[in-house]
Amino acid sequence: MNDGVERGDRRRANGDEGAALVEFALVAVLLFTLVFGIITFGLLLSFKQDMTRAAAEGARAGAVAFPSSNAEGDARNATGTAVRAFGGSFSTTGCARLGMDCRILAPTILDPTSAPCLGDATHQCVTVELVYNYKDNPLYGDIPLISAFLPEFVTAKSVARVND
């Protein structure tokens, strides 16, 4: 009876049935990690492009508005409208979004020289910078293995010169 059990064990070990399934299981982990990494990077790049566009719209609106109105307020409103346009959970005013900080430097009517252009102090500029805390507020959830390669912060900055 022992001889029959040993013969059955040898017969089971002789074939390569199931080897392809084991190989696929090993390769699939790497393949799916790569595919989801590419998708996540593409979505993050799209989000950064939206942030850059929002910062550019805010800076342009502030530069065009000065000195006839409040450049900082106009820049903040335009940036807020653009930020709300690319989805997510937003506050109802300004350019705030959960995890996003909006920094605006613009000349004021009381002090029109308060925001000189970097590298050209003879002109005034409106600067809008958006900083998104991606580490604490991931856009699409935490994906194992991939999250370790994603940035902590996503930033976008735009500068527009005020016409004299």
For the stretch 96-127, pLDDT in tens is 677 888 888 888 777 777 788 888 888 888 89
- Mean pLDDT, rounded, of the chain: 81
8 belongs to a structural domain = no
Confidence of residue 55 (pLDDT cuts 50, 70, 90): very high
4 belongs to a structural domain = no
Q: Which of 7-21, 44-58, 69-83 is the least confident region?
A: 7-21
Query: Which long-range contacts link 74-78 to residues 24+ away (Cβ below 8 Å)?
Result: 75/104, 75/106, 75/126, 75/128, 76/102, 76/104
Half-sphere exposure of 35 (CA within 13 A, CB side): 6
Residue 152 φ then ψ, to 5°: -75, -40
Q: How far apart are CA 65 and CA 84, in angstroms?
A: 21
Q: Domain total for the chain?
A: 1
Predicted TM-score of the model (pTM): 0.76
119 belongs to a structural domain = yes
How confident is the model at residue 131, as a pLDDT?
Answer: 92
Which residue range(s) make up the domain with 76? 16-161
How confident is the model at residue 102, as a pLDDT?
Answer: 87
32 belongs to a structural domain = yes
3 belongs to a structural domain = no
11 belongs to a structural domain = no
For the stretch 62-109, pLDDT in tens is 888 877 778 888 888 888 888 888 766 555 555 667 788 888 888 877
Q: What is the mean pLDDT of residues 13-22?
A: 75
